[in-house]
Structure 1
């Protein structure tokens, strides 16, 4: 005997009733299919719009590469002047074709006895080409073996110097007779002052008692340290 016998007294469904039931089921399926299709279309369309939106900056950059001027007369640009030399820059603000390209270039000229303040760049490496003159370099690196890597050397005309991102470094004019000219290339669109942390700013970011504890000297030892912080410092040896 079947566990779930079909009752004998079920009402008989005539042809009209069956047709009506099929129409209702068919309509429901169509509505459900339309809803799912609409949701999929909205999702795909939304994704496409999102992709188009996210691609807009790249498209704008590519357009600029086609339409903006490709020539910038770097050494003829008006320089920023400092006590020990000058700085000229080609970046998004002065050379629009670089917009979105993660690149900027600077022409640095140090007079005899001048130095570029010890500093580092948090978001960029730099590649330096010595155009003329002779430079003293110091680059302070990390210490995976327990000791700091302090690389000090002289670079002359025609030499390349690479400074990794975030490494503390300095360079100065080593000649007693002629200016030092250096071309500096960065892998960032940020202007030089916006990605530059100098040693004076570093010292002034810390309380004097913390500095004294770190150096093992009296707080008064830092009394002569200037409190004015400048974005870029090119000065002379004292």
Structure 2
């Protein structure tokens, strides 16, 4: 089946450009102008990925990134004219899998869409040990199919596609130091120059959901000058 993309963009020219570009790559695109139109479309069919403009007629696209009950586990890429660092970091911290600033090169957008879809479907690092879709570590149980974390106290944390992918990479490589480049290769598939620091924002977001104190983290430790290491030994179902 063709990849289904929901494009939430109120500028007709940009909408046509993106739609035409993705359709040329064999994808199916549904163009929407408002948040309200997305809500109606979601009730009919769930897409494989959403492209989200931030400035929409009936609200701020940031609200979609924060709404775990709506698009929480779907891959999401922000496509916007708001290119300042604050907006980028906030967007990534609250759930975007990537952030593209207008004007953009259509081929780059296609590459980013494909990279996010790859990241969502599977992740691996060299010498990692494949795990199942359910694993336990420390006080947590992760369900990578459902993109959720379940704490021993019964509370549930919803993960975005990028967070779930990143956590799976860490769990598969528990005890090994992973550089930022390795993590980017495994979970993004492309590098974004000086903005590769976005990986730090993703890790910060994941630590927060794991209740891992950023000042003295116990699960995802920073190895200065080298990268990060996941310190909890994973336990598969039945162990």
Q: By percentage of residues, which structure has more strand?
A: 1
Higher relative contact order structure (alpha carbons within 8 Å, sequence separation ≥ 6): 1
TM above 0.5, yes or no, is no
Rg comparison, structure with higher value: 1
Interval containing the TM-score (normalised by the shorter chain): under 0.3
Q: Which TM-score applies when normalising by structure 1?
A: 0.25
